[in-house]
Amino acid sequence: MVELNQLLLEFEAHLNGDAVTEQWKEPRDFWISEVSAAIDEKQLAKLLVELESNFQMQAVQSQWKMLRQSWVEECRIASTLEEVSSLLLELESNTTWEVMRDEWQDNREKWVQQMYEFNDE
């Protein structure tokens, strides 16, 4: 499970300041320690929603508005590593390049490969 925690933290670390709300700065350190300490999939899915709910609207593709409600519902009922990794991948693939740090393009392929490993287990 630690690997998925790290991949979530890696994704968040590559978001630039334009991606998230001003309010995110305050709970961010606590969120990072919560993700690092998370030991079950439900907790990780909840933390994923917490991150996304602090996204600015320009941080995501326009179709995200239509997808978001069902994505949040899926996060609420997610109970396996496969489900949580798929939900994280879905969020990442709907996040715009403009709000990702430049080095994300270089790191993304390896990150996505690691994400897919959760679906192979």
Over the chain, what is the mean pLDDT?
A: 94
Measure CA 2 to chain center: 15
Count other Cβ atoms within 10 Å, centred on residue 76. Answer: 11
Q: Cα separation of 121 and 111, whole Å?
A: 17
**In three state form, how does the secondary structure of 36-77 look?**
HHCCCHHHHHHHHHHHHCCECHHHECCCHHHHHHHHHHHHHH
Q: Cα separation of 106 and 17, whole Å?
A: 19
pLDDT at residue 117 tops 90: no
At 112 the pLDDT is: 94
119 falls in which pLDDT band (50, 70, 90)? confident
44-84 pLDDT, tens digit each: 999 999 999 999 999 999 999 999 999 999 999 999 999 99
1 falls in which pLDDT band (50, 70, 90)? low
